[in-house]
Amino acid sequence: MTSHLDFKHLLRVFLPLCAVVFMLLTTSARPAGAAEKPNIVLLFIDDWAWNGSPVAMDDSMPNSRMPVVQMPNVERLAREGMKFTNAYASPQCSPSRVCVQTGQSSPRNGFTVFMNDRGQDYFDEKSYPAFPVIPCISDMTIDADAVTIPEALKPLGYVSAHIGKWHMRGDPGDEGYVLHDGDTSNTPGNTLPKGANQRLPDDLTDPKLMFSVTEKALGFMSEQAKAGRPFYLQISHYAMHEGRECLPATREKYTRHPLVQAYYRKIGQTAETVKRKDDPAIWLGMGDDLDGRIGAVLDRISELGIGDNTYVVLVSDNGYRHKELQLKKGLRQPHHAAKWWVWQGGIRVPMIVRGPGIKAGSVFEGNVVNYDFLPTFVDWAGGDPTALKNIDGVSLAYYMEGEEPTEAFLKRNLYFHYPHYRTSMPHSAVVSGTRKLLHFYERPDLPMLFDLAKDRGEVHNIASTHQEEHRQLYHDMMKYFEKVGARIPKRNPKYDPAAYRESKEYEKRVQWGPFAGTRQLEEDEK
């Protein structure tokens, strides 16, 4: 007689076989020409400003693109796909990467900065003992119960790879990636010693690991295409992060540009004497080389014959402030502040998507955010994004195919949370349609509200004349923070104003901190 244990064993063997047979039968019964599951490639660029490419992110704004830099493959993606005018991310790279993987906002996932918690659970009582508020610590890894992109796509038949910068601690393999580079940070991408060589070596062949990262990614795509398996591939480049590197020949091309030559004269340097960190030709060359690697990916997709069934997403991990914009006279910075801040300069990013059903040369003006990627990818893969639990993102799939966004979508609240000091100060924001609220925990008495439709530079604080709007958005934000368990800073009873004024980043905090009325423009904004 068959034992109960044997019967359970037979079920474990028999049921999967039935599932395989059913899958084969249903697959063979598909009508000719039925669409296969699409491949998804995410090109994730580091520290790349909204206006950091030759593609104008807003056609009405000359300063929404970067002069001089040549990136024909990025321009090709924009011609062949959809450009997102109002795409958002976190103000720092690691939180952004966690948002992408989990579909959760930073307040919900708790990973709000890449910094040591020093053994503390909630408040950071040790790092800034004399500052006005006691900031919070951050989660140190992706939560164990969070469903990541590979984990969500694997049941749908996908194999996933993550090549390049991880910077979230932990093993990418534990999150479902079958091919990866391990727990990488910024360090591998800085291939030249700090300060030891202010010039590019003549034998530099793999700046920012752009070429080796791309080759590994190309191999993965080729292997999966040959096997007929749908794949998710995230190429997380170390460019355009500081620690400037490019091929010497590419730098040489840009040193000859008249605007770069004029800059050298302005600062009293030459192409031979300028330091690497001050050389616009290296930054421009880094963008140029990066574009070539993007082109290599696009070319391989075409060579493999999978172009009609592959989505390509190009986006930055956070906002930035590239001074190279000033090479061309008359251009001013489009956004206030930069990385580490939840002003537009820290969280607005470039984004372009090409793929099946996406109209060439189209533009989407609604607000989107990087935690929308997970549900969108699941939707593309044939899954149900609404079945994902405890996420904040929504699928953008139908909007990319041309469906008009609903009023609810256009006015949904996007939350940004940075309860830390470092170069900035603890503050949060909510973007709702064209309105944006900022809240600085040092100054809870100073309400801040902006109309982004008329004031993209966040120059005019309209909170005093729109008190009810401010009250409602602030109420929504704090209610949401409470719901998801976001860490909130508290007043510091040991605050020492003199010590605070002497701190390293004090002047920048004053300059980019809260204000009433109208703020004074900086030199590169005038």
Residue 35's pLDDT is what? Answer: 52
Total domains, the chain: 1
Pairwise CA distance, residues 180 & 234, whole Å: 9
Q: What is the mean pLDDT of residues 500-519?
A: 96
Highest mean pLDDT among 31-45, 81-95, 190-204: 81-95
Cis before 240 (ω within 30)? yes
* Whether pLDDT at 18 is above 50: no
pTM of the model: 0.93
What integer best gives the mean pLDDT of the chain?
Answer: 93
- In a domain, residue 366? The reply is yes
- Give pLDDT tens digits for 210-264: 999 999 999 999 999 999 999 999 999 999 999 999 999 999 999 999 999 999 9
**Binning pLDDT at 50, 70 and 90, where does residue 196 land?**
low
Other Cβ atoms within 10 Å of 423 Cβ, number? 15
> Alpha-carbon distance 417 to 430, whole Å?
9
Q: What residue ranges in 89-158 does DSSP mark as E strands?
A: 133-134
Q: CB burial class (10 A; 0-12, 13-18, 19+) of residue 501?
A: exposed
How does strand 82-88 pair with strand 348-349? antiparallel
Measured CA to CA, the distance from residue 198 to residue 245 in angstroms comes to 11
3-state secondary structure of 71: coil
Q: Is 354 a domain residue?
A: yes
| Residue 17: per-residue pLDDT | 37
Candidate from 139-153, 166-180, 194-208, 375-389 with smallest mean pLDDT: 194-208
- Three-state DSSP at 432 gives strand
In a domain, 326, yes or no: yes
Could you report the per-residue pLDDT of 255-312, keeping only the tens digit for each? 999 999 999 999 999 999 999 999 999 999 999 999 999 999 999 999 999 999 999 9
pLDDT at 89: 98
Q: pLDDT tens digits, residue range 327-358?
A: 999 999 999 999 999 999 999 999 999 999 99
pLDDT level of residue 14 (50, 70, 90 thresholds): very low
The average pLDDT across 53-72 equals: 97
- Residues of the domain holding 352: 39-190+201-409
Is residue 65 domain-resident?
Answer: yes
CA angle 97, 170, 378 (to 5 degrees): 45
Tell me the pLDDT tens digit for each residue of 39-57.
999 999 999 999 999 999 9
Is 471 domain-assigned?
A: no
Asked if residue 449 lies in contact with residue 461, where contact means CB atoms within 8 angstroms, the answer is yes
Distance CA 203, CA 217 (A): 24
Looking at the chain, the whole-number percentage of residues with pLDDT higher than 70 is 93
CA distance 353 to 84: 8
List beta partners, residue 415: 430
Looking at residue 472, what is its pLDDT? 98
Domain assignment of residue 436, yes or no: no
What pLDDT sits at residue 199? 82
Q: Which CATH number covers residue 283?
A: 3.40.720.10
Does 439 fall in a domain? no
Average pLDDT over residues 476-494: 98
- Domain assignment of residue 165, yes or no: yes
State the chain's maximal CA–CA distance in angstroms: 93
User: What is the pLDDT, as a whole number, of residue 197?
Assistant: 59
Measured at the CA of 104, the angle between CA 405 and CA 403, to 5 degrees, comes to 15
Q: What is the mean pLDDT of residues 8-24?
A: 36
pLDDT value at residue 193: 84
